Amino acid sequence: MSSTLQSLLGTETLATFETGGPPARGLPGTAYTSDAFFALENERIFTASWVFAGFAHELSRPGDAAPVTVAGQPVLLVRDANRRVRAFHNVCRHRCLKLVDAARNVGRTIRCPYHSWTYGLDGALHVAPYFGGRDPRAAPHGFDREQHGLVPVRSETWHDWIFVNLSGTAPPFDDFSAPIRRHLEGLDLTRVHHLVTVDMGEVAANWKLLMENFIEPYHVQFVHATTTEQPLADHYTVNEPGCLGCAVDVSGDATRKNTLSVDSRYLTLFPSFAFGLYMPDQIGVHLNVPLAPGLTMQRRAIYNLGPEPASPRRAGQLARLWRQVHLEDHAICERLQQGRVSDAAATGGVLSPVWENSVRSFQEMVVDHLR
């Protein structure tokens, strides 16, 4: 039986989170460090929700396949013969071996390296050689090939962004994504061009710390002093059901060239999709993959909007700028992680009602999912 939220956090600590304050408390340190808490998040959040899992441009040709991790489980994204992206559990139906272990083009079929069971790009099992005996085509009594195709995972591709829902029970994708789409009205996302991806590798911080950092504007002036010149007063939070984030409308005299001092929107879809819009035409999307309580893989894809992709020179400039910004954020998130093991983190710290109300809402969503 899985743990309960009360047993993991303690009734008293949970009550402190829920009723402590003002100002409101943050989640206790355990929520960021405990294996059991992480397991419960995988079970109740990452299995049940729409989870951003990969970039469609990385699967440009039929047969392109990419293994990804969702809720700690191996999932396979594949571009099929009709150019549609599909998702499957990345597990052979014979002995449950992880089927594809590196991104590659698999051709027309996906073949398991162990006993050569072979699947179509639609997941159907084509061949299970010698499974029934010496005849390569023999099937044992009671074995129905049609029942042993790859197990499909519900998926949706929204522009360049592939989402999956392992449980199959999340609300329709359009309902889930409506709150962020409302913020992006007027933006023609069909004109999005991928420029470059910044791979930040593994960050020694819990996934929630990366998300919380993304949606609070309080730290920007202090942590990003060299890469931005956005006065705190120009910022505000976005604190809506289904879309948490922050934004900045930069006053004219604070605009500088080659920094991030432009009107911006930092928007999320719970749990882990992070979308940055930098007016008038730049977009950055984070792929955050929780690997362990204190470990998250992160990549950032950078796009421009317009009739054509921006120049390679511009792409290089943006990659350098954003790598620096992420390094600044990650240094902080890793120190947050280190602080969370302290007994002094048990009561969760306190949150600004003005600049961190989006963080509070995010944490309430975590707790609501784990109840």
Q: Rounded to whole angstroms, how far apart are CA atoms 353 and 171?
A: 30
Distance, in Å, from the CA atom of 264 to the CA atom of 97, rounded to the nearest integer, reads 44
DSSP code string of 23-69: SPB---THHHH-HHHHHHHIIIIITTS-EEEEEGGGS-STTEEEEEE
Q: Which of residues 24-53 bind ligand FES (CB under 6 A)?
A: none
Q: Please say which residue, 76 or 315, places its beta carbon nearer to ligand FES.
A: 76
CA distances to 32, 230, 316 from 47, in Å = 18, 37, 36
When binding is defined by CB under 6 A, the residue of 83, 84, 95, 104 that contacts ligand FES is 95
Among 97, 223, 291, 367, contact with ligand FES (rule: CB under 6 A): 97
Minimal distance in Å, beta carbon 258 to ligand FES?
52
- If the CB atoms of residues 94 and 224 are measured against ligand FES, the closer one turns out to be 94
Residue number of the CB closest to Fe ion reads 329
Site for ligand FES contains 117 (CB under 6 A): yes
CB of 96 to ligand FES, least distance (A): 7
Residue 256 binding ligand FES, by CB under 6 A: no
Give the tokens for residue 129.
């050689």
Give, in order, the Cα–Cα distances in Å from 2 to each of 27, 38, 292.
Answer: 20, 11, 17
The entry of ligand FES, Fe ion, none that residue 68 binds, CB within 5 to 8 Å by partner kind: none
Question: Taking CB within 5 to 8 Å according to partner kind, which of ligand FES, Fe ion, none is near residue 329?
Answer: Fe ion
Question: Between 54 and 93, how does the x/- string for binding to ligand FES read (CB under 6 A)?
Answer: --------------------------------------x-
Size of site (CB under 6 A) for ligand FES: 8
Residue 160 partner contact from Fe ion, ligand FES, none using kind-dependent CB cut-offs of 5 to 8 Å: none
What DSSP element (H or E) covers 282?
strand 282-292
Q: φ, ψ for residue 362 (rounded to 5)? A: -60, -45
Tokens 């909007």: give the residue.
305
Give the shortest CB-135-to-ligand FES separation in angstroms. 17
- Give the nearer residue to Fe ion in terms of CB position, either 28 or 276: 276
Taking the complex as a whole, the smallest distance from the CB of residue 71 to ligand FES amounts, in Å, to: 22
**Using CB under 6 A, which of 14, 20, 58, 94 touches ligand FES?**
94
CA-based R_g, the chain, Å: 22
Q: Give the phi and the psi of residue 221 in degrees, each rounded to 5.
A: -65, -25
Going 366 to 207 to 272 to 230, the CA torsion angle's sign is positive
Interface positions with ligand FES (CB under 6 A): 92, 94-95, 97, 112, 114-115, 117
